[in-house]
Structures are given as C-alpha cells and as structure tokens.
Structure 1
Amino acid sequence: MTVGYAINNLNDTFQTYILEAAKDKAKENDMNIRVENAKEDLIAQQDQVNTLIQNGVDALIVVPVDTSAMDPITKAAQNADIPLIYVNRNPYAGKEDKMPKNVYYVGSEEITAGIMQMEFIGEKLGGKGNIAILMGILGNEGAMKRTEGVEQVIKEKYPEMKVLNKETAEWQRDKAIAVTENWISTYGKDINAVIANNDEMALGALQAAKKNNRSDMLIIGTDAIPDAIEAVEKGELAGTVFQDAKGQGGGAIDVLVNKDKAESVTYVPFQLITKDNVSEFK
C-alpha cells in the first residue's frame, strides 16, 4: 500500500515529528509513504493531493494548510474512492457528525490545550493580570480553538484578567519574537503573560523576553518539542502542553490498518507539563 502524505509545511517542527511517527508505523505495516510539502500554500496542497491521486496512491493523510478550505480535497479523495485521514488539524471540528464516509480525523481536541494553558497561568497569577495570545495561522482550526479555550477560561473563571492583545505569528519563532517585542514596547510591565498556540512561538516570545529583561513574564506553549521541554526544565518557560506526535502519526496509520473497525474520530489526549513533572517527558 502506498500512502500519500500531504503536509502543511516541513518547516513546522511538530508536524515533522508526526510525519516521522507515521513513517515508522507505516514501515511496520509494509506501507510506503510519499510526502508532498505545501509550504503553507493552500492551492499547492490541493494540486499536490490531486497529483498523488493521479499517481495511484491507495490512501491519503493530510495536514491541512487551512481547515476551512478542505472541501476540494475531501471531494477528490471521495471521487477516487480512497480513504482520507486528516491528522492534527480537524476540518470537521464541531461538526464531526457530518464527516463523509471514508474520511477520518486523528488528533487532539484543540480547545483543551487552551483551557489547560489558561487555567495554569491564571492560577500562577492569582487570578489577576493581563495576558497576550500568540496565535497560529488565522483560519486554522488549531489556532482558533486553542485561543477560544484561553478566552473561555478567562470569561468563566478569571473575570479580573484581561487579554491585552492577540496576534498571529503564523506558528513561527522568528515572527513571534517581533510580535512579542512590539507588545513589550507597547504595554511594558502591564503584560504579565504570553500564551502561545505552539512552542515555536512560545520560544520566540522567550527570546524577546530575555532581550528586554522580562524574565518575570510567564510564557507557555503547546506541543512539548525538545527545545520547549528544556526551557521548562530551566524555568524559562512556565510550561507547555504535551501533544502526542507519536499517537497522532501512528494513529493515522492504525486507522488504515484497522479501517473496518476504525472510528471516524480518534482523539489523542493533551497533558500539561510544568517544572514539577517535566522530567517525565524527557
């Protein structure tokens, strides 16, 4: 069996971990994986999926560039009568009951990451203070839902806390440095914490904080990539949320292996990592 793997961007560190996990699991099951890199270009991703189908792949795994624009890819897979597994980013979030036949999702329930982040930061700040949110690419389900989780906790649990600003850094460390430096310049000591939709942006915020002598500013990310784990261990990041790359990448292949029994949605749980439990994740 040959599986087409359409990834959003090979420069996205966490996505490469998912891909490697899928490759390892595929090898165990005598499957071949053919990878296409969209480099965050939606049209390119649609073209790549069509090319994979034309080249005769037996199944598709897709990490969407834009979860709100996956209908053409879903239809292409259905027309070719091959299974389609969306991994990590769910185009059917909140409407899983409308997922077409032979279409699957393997990943985490994104809103939970934001809830975990904000509950931890809110507790650390004693329920008072101001935060800013570094968002992933706008329109992306992970960025929207993780941010929604943060805002939900503030509304329901921490009414004395305020979101000073939220801005996209497009999942990227370098862009997060620039955004965070601008926030520090604008808000000064009024900004008490930065909550990032992923670790790459959290690490960018950390670099900006170091450069501007803001070691007091709490920063938390999501994914638990090695650089973030190290920063949590050093006490530089307040925390991160573990997202199980192996569970997601391997889980996507498991769906293909057990397709007759597979559920349309497989949720892989998140776990909060702080200095207290970071040693368990090294």
Structure 2
Amino acid sequence: MKVLRQTIKSILVMLLIFLLIITTEIQTFSSPISRRTINVGVILFSLDNSIAAQFKKEFDNLQNEYPVKVSVLNPQNNVSVQDEMLDSLLKNNIDLIIAIPASTKEDAVRNFIERVRPYNTPLVMFNIPPDVVKNISKDYARAAFAIPASDKTGEMQGEIVRDLWNNKSIIDKNDDNILQYVLVRGPKEDVTADKRTQGVTSILESSGIKTELLQSFATNWTEAVAKSYIENIFLTYGNKIEAIIANDDDLAVGAVKGLQKYGYNTGSKSKYIPVFGLSGTPEAINLIDKGLMSGTIIVDLKKVAQDLYAIGNNLINNANPTENTNLKSEGGVIIIGTNPRKYIIKK
C-alpha cells in the first residue's frame, strides 16, 4: 500500500510538471510582447527634424503600453557622436536597440552593426536602403531591417497635386497646360526620399499631366536648408514656379517661409504658390488651416513605433522578426504601413 501511495504521488508530481511546461509554452506562444521590463535604446538621427521629434514622443509613449524603459538619444546627424552614444548604450546592458541612423550609407550601417554584434544585442534598423540591406543582412543574425511603405504616401501626395491641377485657374499661371514645379527632396540615396519622389511623379505621369521640373534640390531634411534654397532660386524662377513639392513637411514649411520673404503665401490669393508636404506635422497642418500651404499626407507614427518594437521583441525572444504581426518581408526588408491619409487646404 505504501508503494502504491508513493507511485501515485510520483505520477501526480510528473503530471504537475507537465502541466506547468505546457502552460508556459502556451503563454510564450500567445504573447507577442514580453511581459518583463525591457530596456530599449532608440537612436534617432536628429531631433531637429519634426518627424524624428514626433518619433521620440511615440517611442516614449511605448512605456505607457508595454513593460519597457525607453531611452531616446539624439546624435544630431553626426556619425561620430552616434558611435559614442551607441557604445554607451551597449555597455549599459541594453536589451534592444532601435535606430534611424545618422547615415544610411553601406559603410556607416556596417560600422553600426559591427559595434553591436560583439554584445549580441538585438538590433532593428529603420529606413536603410534595400540595396544596402542586401549586402549586409547576413552580417548579424540578430538584426532586422524595416522601411516605410513610402511609395503609397508619395502616390497620395501626387493625387493631391493632380486634384489641384484639375482646377488650372489656381495653378497654371501661364496657361501653357504644363505644370512647372520645384522639387525639394530628402538626401540622395535615401530610401524614403526616393520612394516618395517616385510615387508623386508616377501619379502625375499616369494622370497625363505634362510637367517641367524647374529645379530639384536634395536636403538633409531640415527646414532651414529648404527655406534658404527657395529664397535663392526664387530670384531666378519666381514668376515661373507654379508649385513646390516637398518630400516631407519640414521641407514644405521651409519652402513656405522662403516664399514669404517675397510676399507670397501670406494670405493674399493673388500671391500664392501651392506647396505640398508629407508627414502631417502640427506646423504644416496649421499652415494648411490658414490657407498658406496646399496639403500634406498624415502618417501614423504611433503604429510605426509599435511595429518596430514588436520586431525587436521577436528578436529578443529569438523568433522570426515578423512573428505575431501583420508585417511582411520583401527581399529581407520588412515593410511597415503608415496608415496615410490626405489633409488639404479647405476651399
């Protein structure tokens, strides 16, 4: 009898252990976001850029939704400063690094990865050109790369331009049925700038709109540079410019302020040049509401921040980067939708 009781006790213990294992596995599988506190280091190329500043806010807000501690660092578009910040994060036992780096060139991205790899820290990099990712994706197994679905936002910006062009009395100043415009874009070889530019121009072409590109200028995403650029070229092209298309709202706001130096876009309908931005910053929306700017595309940066964290959390758990998400990978790059919507000047 004693032997029987001992046998039953052993079976019950084994059953309890089995149930605990099964329960743990189910909880791990069903919970895409870890419940322990995770230390996340976020490096944003420059908080002087309005979008980067909005990103900081959304990454900080993750702390209200998930068990995370977020530290956002601003290298001010300086790779050397960025390297120092990255080294400091790594030495302080960070669990995850999310980066929109100061440089997306291959050698700079490779250097970033080489600094992270000895620590075996999960790394999510955003806005790295797919061509660069193709060459470096195998350098570090615990790294993931994501880009925004910027082609759609560029196309939507093109639709705003097209719709305004359909009322030619507003935009076709010389009645030649050709849209003369200036393009203020992001840096050369920047994946977001390239996709947005391709998106807007493809819509204009497919809509049968004849265009003449008066000037195109690559910037570092800063308002001051765009303002200075428009102030300078206005002396040459002022009476020819029918529209200014900018890759983001900081550049669009800078363009508006550049025009205002010459009395344009201050409230007079007779001295107004349509300016189109993209990203939906508060200042751009304010200018649109005042009738001083024509339109923008508002993007959901909260969703982007959450998606980047979800990717990183999967890396922490040694899972596929897109597991338990609605994200898809194309050519080794994860595409993140931004839920874009149009915001235009009220007629």
Structure 1 partner of 2:217 = 167
- How far off is 1:156 after superposition? 4.2
CA-based RMSD of the aligned residues comes to 2.6
The aligned runs of 1:71-82 (5 Å cut-off) are 71-82=110-121
Contact 2:184 2:218 in 1 (8 A): yes
Cα 1:142–1:178 change in 2 (3 A) is same
Structure 2 partner of 1:24 = 61
Structure 1 partner of 2:345 = 275
Structure 2 partner of 1:85 = 124
Structure 2 partner of 1:280 = none
Q: State the alpha-carbon separation in 2 of the partners of residues 164 and 178 from structure 1.
A: 17
- How far off is 1:62 after superposition? 0.2
Q: Number of paired residues?
A: 276
Q: State the alpha-carbon separation in 1 of the partners of residues 263 and 55 from structure 2.
A: 35
TM-score relative to the length of structure 1 = 0.86
Partner residue of 2:142 out of 77, 93, 102: 102
Task: Report SS of the residue matched to 1:72.
Answer: helix
Q: Does 1:220 align with 2:290?
A: no
Partner residue of 2:52 out of 15, 34, 37: 15
Contact 1:129 1:160 in 2 (8 A): yes
Percent identity, please.
21
Contact 1:131 1:192 in 2 (8 A): yes
Unaligned runs of 5+ in 1: 278-282
Range moving further from structure 2, 233-242 or 19-28: 19-28
Structure 1 partner of 2:293 = 237
Q: State the alpha-carbon separation in 1 of the partners of residues 245 and 66 from structure 2.
A: 39
Unaligned runs of 5+ in 2: 1-37, 167-176, 266-271, 323-328
The aligned runs of 1:142-181 (5 Å cut-off) are 142-158=192-208, 160-181=210-231
Partner residue of 1:256 out of 312, 317, 321: 312
Larger gyration radius, structure 1 or structure 2: 2
Contact 2:123 2:312 in 1 (8 A): no
C-alpha distance after superposition, 1:135-178 (max 9, x if no partner): 22334322233223334344444452011111134222222111
Structure 2 partner of 1:119 = 159
C-alpha distance after superposition, 1:96-145 (max 9, x if no partner): 79745433345522233332222321332247311111122334322233
Contact 1:135 1:143 in 2 (8 A): yes
Q: Does 1:66 align with 2:66?
A: no
Cα 1:146–1:266 change in 2 (3 A) is closer
- How far off is 1:181 after superposition? 1.5
Amino acid at match of 2:47: L
Using CA pairs below 8 Å that are at least 6 residues apart, which structure has the higher relative contact order?
1
Q: State the alpha-carbon separation in 2 of the partners of residues 21 and 203 from structure 1.
A: 22
Q: State the alpha-carbon separation in 2 of the partners of residues 198 and 90 from structure 1.
A: 17
Q: State the alpha-carbon separation in 1 of the partners of residues 199 and 131 from structure 2.
A: 14
Range moving further from structure 2, 162-171 or 249-258: 249-258
Q: Does 1:47 align with 2:84?
A: yes
TM-score relative to the length of structure 2 = 0.71
Amino acid at match of 1:37: N
Amino acid at match of 1:253: Y
Contact 2:158 2:203 in 1 (8 A): yes
- How far off is 1:38 after superposition? 1.1
Contact 1:108 1:267 in 2 (8 A): yes
- How far off is 1:44 after superposition? 2.4
